[in-house]
């Protein structure tokens, strides 16, 4: 990502944190980033293009955060998965793009990107114009990354399919907590689950 594009996204995020997306002005975003309005349009094409780029960045940031959390040293892989689930809940706080991406619920305060109508030439623009992942797609991507990381330290007889199911289950529990937070905040999401990694009980005789 170019320095200009990164600066514009940072500026747009700062404005979005203070006001609804409908009140964010392209000229103000450009001024905050220290570039011209034309440079902003050259980079994103339109306000809609900027919205798509912000949402894409939020999705990428979520998946990167899942990997970082799972990569932290821990004696038990279960603890890392629990930490990733709890981190998901914390990151998807109300009013964030990540929350809208994970739930599919958009409102006036946040940009709800529509499909791109034009074909960009720059690689970063082309990627930003790709369809955004839906809640199920984003959850599946997070599950796959969790499986890839945890499988490296899982016991030898761990069934990859069981591991994938457990990862998805814990992440879906995190999503349910985002959509309908518990009345009393207790232990983290993952602690509502028991064993999340290890040999499959059905693999004993294999």
pTM of the full predicted structure? Answer: 0.79
Q: Which residues, other chains included, contact 45 with Cβ-Cβ below 8 Å and sequence gap of 6+?
A: 118, 120, 125
pLDDT at 184 exceeding the cut of 90: no
**What pLDDT does 151 receive?**
84
Average pLDDT estimate for 75-85: 87
Q: How far apart are CA 198 and CA 180, in angstroms?
A: 30
Q: Strand pairing partners for 158? A: 199
Q: How far apart are CA 98 and CA 114, in angstroms?
A: 16
Residue whose entry in the numeric block shows the structure tokens 């009345």:
183
**What pLDDT does 4 receive?**
95
* Pair 96, 58: CB distance under 8 Å: yes
Strands (E), 65-187: none
Q: Which residues, other chains included, contact 27 with Cβ-Cβ below 8 Å and sequence gap of 6+?
A: 37
Tokens of 201: 């009980």
Q: Which helix (H) or strand (E) holds 75?
A: none
Structure confidence at residue 199 as a pLDDT band (50, 70, 90): very low
* Pair 179, 167: CB distance under 8 Å: no
Q: What would the CATH number be for the domain defined by 1-44? A: 1.10.10
């Amino acid at each position: 990502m170019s320095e200009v594009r990164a600066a514009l996204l940072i500026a747009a995020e700062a404005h979005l944190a203070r006001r609804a997306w409908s009140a964010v002005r392209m000229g103000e975003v450009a001024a905050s980033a220290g570039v011209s309005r034309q440079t902003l349009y050259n980079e994103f094409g339109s306000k809609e293009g900027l919205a798509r780029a912000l949402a894409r960045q939020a999705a990428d940031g979520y998946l990167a955060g899942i990997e970082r959390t799972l990569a932290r040293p821990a004696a038990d892989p279960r603890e890392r998965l629990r930490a990733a689930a709890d981190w998901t809940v914390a990151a998807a706080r109300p009013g964030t793009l990540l929350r809208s991406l994970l739930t599919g619920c958009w409102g006036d305060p946040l940009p709800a990107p529509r499909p791109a109508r034009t074909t960009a030439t720059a690689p970063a623009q082309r990627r930003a114009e790709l369809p955004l992942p839906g809640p199920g797609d984003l959850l599946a991507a997070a599950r796959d990354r969790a499986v890839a990381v945890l499988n490296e330290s899982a016991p030898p007889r761990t069934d990859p399919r069981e591991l994938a199911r457990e990862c998805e289950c814990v992440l879906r529990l995190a999503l349910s907590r985002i959509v309908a937070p518990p009345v009393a905040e207790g232990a983290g999401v993952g602690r509502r689950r028991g064993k999340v990694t290890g040999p499959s009980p059905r693999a004993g005789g294999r």
